[in-house]
Structure formats: structure tokens, C-alpha cells
Amino acid sequence: MTNTQLNTAAEVRAFLALCLDPGPGRDKRTVARVTEIMPDWLAGPLNQYAPHLAGLSDAVHQAEAAAAAARAAHAEALEAWIAGDDTPPTGAAGAPTPQAATRHSPAPLQPRYLESFAENASTEAIHGHLVARRADRRGLDRHISFLEALLAHRSGQIAAGTWPAANHQHNEGVNR
């Protein structure tokens, strides 16, 4: 939080103009960059004087959540495929397919939105976040299981004296 008081639209505009051009010796920023680094506390005054920006900001956050869900679904399917599972995801046992996840699985809430979400969220929105976080947990559990199996396999190789392989020096330092 900051002590900056923004009581009028003109003050909010002046503050944002300062964010764009902080002054001598400091790099100027693009408007796109300012939207990325905008302080959390600025949302209230900005939305008060420019309510249409709140809707656009929400649309951006929803699109980012959809993109994150699509990336997570893709990564999970790729991980399964690498492990030898050639079955395309179909949404077994009522779980959403990756396509459904893109539409309905919100990304984790950023701290600046938690209070507002807790105060205003519908049961559908809460359920959507719950489903998404459970899917995240399932993906992490699957990844952990893969790593545990890999560790057991590698330990067996070391015990049998078959690891490191002769070509291992080429892979040193990868993914440490």
C-alpha cells in the first residue's frame, strides 16, 4: 500500500502519466508495460473513474487464466505421452477435457483479487476455482509419481553399476 491519495480522475491520470514517464534518468514505459506493473492499490481509484477499464482488465485476467489452463492441460497431456500413455485426454469420470478447462478453469487468484473474490464470487465461480485447483493438484501428483519412479529406477541402475552410462558426460548439467 502507499500513501498516494488519488481523489479525482485528474489525479489518477497524472499518476499514470508519471508511471509512463518517471522523469529524468529513468526509463519511460509503454502503456502495455504499465498495465503489467500497475500497483494493486491503484485498481480502486482507476475503476472508480474509468469503470470500463475494470471490465477490460477482468477480460484480460480471464483470457490469461484460460491460456494458463490450456498450457497446463497441454503440459499434462505431453507428460503422459512422454511416459508412454498414447491415450488422448477424454475427460474421464466427468473431469473436464483440456478444451473445457480452457473455458472454465480459472488460474489461481492473485493476492490482490482474493478479498474481492471472497466478497463477490458466485457459487459457480467458487466451484470453478475449486475444480481448477484440484486439477492442478492431480497434475502435480502425477508429476511427483513420475519423479519417484524415475528416482527408484535410477537408484536401481546405480546399484547395478549400469549408471552413469558411457555417454553420460554429454548430459551433465542438464536439468539440475
Which residues are within 8 A (CB) of 40 and not within 5 positions of it... i.e. 6 or more apart?
A: 111, 112
Domain count, the chain: 1
What is the widest separation between alpha-carbon atoms in the chain? 73
79 located within any domain: yes
102 located within any domain: yes
pLDDT one-digit tens code per residue, 119-173: 777 777 777 777 778 878 888 888 888 888 888 888 888 998 888 876 555 444 4
Confidence of residue 176 (pLDDT cuts 50, 70, 90): very low
Contact 112, 38 (CB under 8 A): no
pLDDT one-digit tens code per residue, 18-54: 999 999 999 999 999 998 888 878 888 888 888 888 8
Q: Which three cell numbers stand for residue 91?
A: 475427460
| pLDDT at residue 124 in the model | 76
35 located within any domain: no
100 located within any domain: yes
83 located within any domain: yes
Which residues are within 8 A (CB) of 134 and not within 5 positions of it... i.e. 6 or more apart?
A: none
Confidence of residue 11 (pLDDT cuts 50, 70, 90): very high
Structural domain that includes position 95: 50-171
pTM of structure:
0.43
Contact 31, 20 (CB under 8 A): yes
| pLDDT at residue 53 in the model | 84
154 located within any domain: yes
pLDDT one-digit tens code per residue, 55-111: 788 788 788 888 888 888 788 888 888 888 877 665 433 344 444 444 445 566 665
| pLDDT at residue 25 in the model | 93
| pLDDT at residue 15 in the model | 93
123 located within any domain: yes
Contact 75, 84 (CB under 8 A): no
CA distance 139 to 79: 9
11 located within any domain: no
